[in-house]
Structure 1
Amino acid sequence: MENVPRVNIYIDGNNLYRGAKELGFEIDYKKFRHWLRQKYHTHQVYLFIGLVPNRVKFYEYLQECGFILVFKQTVSVGGSVKGNCDAELVLKATSDFYTKAFDKCLLVTGDGDFGCLVEFLASNASLSGLLAPDEKKRSILLRNKNIEITFLNDLYHKFSKRSA
């Protein structure tokens, strides 16, 4: 019997959502989860998002699609809702590395704040690659990391509700 690696995916939900939206796509999360499962033979897929009380039905839908949700309490700042989950994603991925919860992992983000996590996982041969929501918006801090980066720009049609 073939030994299949356990692959976990850690998704920066806001970065994914904004990247798709700026390119004119609305993600169909059920299709996206199916695509991840087929392409990467995923073990666990974590979606890090801000907790907005009136979005309960949406969160239930995401869980039905197979995502494990990790929430950050949101705050209102100048009329905008903020719920940055970067620290939660870094902590979860690092904790899972040390508890051997995966053999390999992928990160879905273009945010340079994850540069240190990318370096850590890559140096420990645990990072399969990076899925960046938008090639043009990928942080310069993620360039030249000597890792495989797949840009979702040309793939959104596989898991979007509609395109602009």
Structure 2
Amino acid sequence: MKKKKLNNYAFIDSQNLYLGVKSQGWKLDYARFRVYLKEKYQVNQAFIFIGYVTGNESLYTALQHAGYIGVFKPTLPIKKGNKVIIKGNVDAELVLHTMVELPNYDKVVIVSGDGDFHCLLEYLDKEKKLLKLLVPNERGFSRLLRKFRKYVVFLHDLREKVEYRKHKKERE
């Protein structure tokens, strides 16, 4: 008997993903991660939520070539002391898109450890739509999300599969 092909989606908090992995001393290979999502969880659509910063167009193009659908939010420069921090919180956009797309997917993979997504995860769990919660950093994993532990996979456990490695040409 043939296994039913699922139509799963992923919704990715890019800042939580990037900073969570970086804080552990490694870099994510976004192309390998996209392949992992497709092969492991049958993710057909992977939405990556990211603050738009002029000058980062090559990054956005690379993400799209790797198979992500970019959802961009305008950013604001905020001065903190003598530093300027770029702020582009994408939480509301991620929640909204997850709900708007609800009729279009079988199950969902959320990539974040942010407690702001508690109510979204609660709803997805209740509706039996939550497949996995991929958490970038175990230390940054919100206590609010512990009740969803059965869905959790920590990215450090996937490091061998999704870590960026310099290609031979780049090292020369």
TM-score, normalized by length of structure 2?
0.89
Give the alignment's Cα RMSD to 1 decimal.
1.4
Deviations along 1:25-72, one digit per CA (max 9) or x if unpaired, are 111111111111111111100000000010001100100000000011
Gaps of 5+ in 1: none
CA distance in 1, matches of 2:75, 2:12: 18
Q: After superposition, where does 1:1-164 map in structure 2 within 5 Å?
A: 2-78=3-79, 79-97=84-102, 100-145=103-148, 147-162=150-165
TM-score, L = length of structure 1: 0.93
Give the drift of 1:154: 2.0
Q: Which moved more, 1:145-154 or 1:41-50?
A: 145-154
Displacement, 1:158? 1.5
C-alpha distance after superposition, 1:127-158 (max 9, x if no partner): 11200011121001101236410111121232
In structure 2, give the amino acid aligned to 1:124.
E
Aligned residue pairs: how many?
161
Which structure has the higher relative contact order (CA within 8 Å, separation 6+)? Answer: 1
Structure 2 CA distance for aligned equivalents of residues 3 and 112 of structure 1: 33
Q: Is the 8 A contact 1:25 1:162 kept in 2?
A: no
Tell me the percent identity: 40
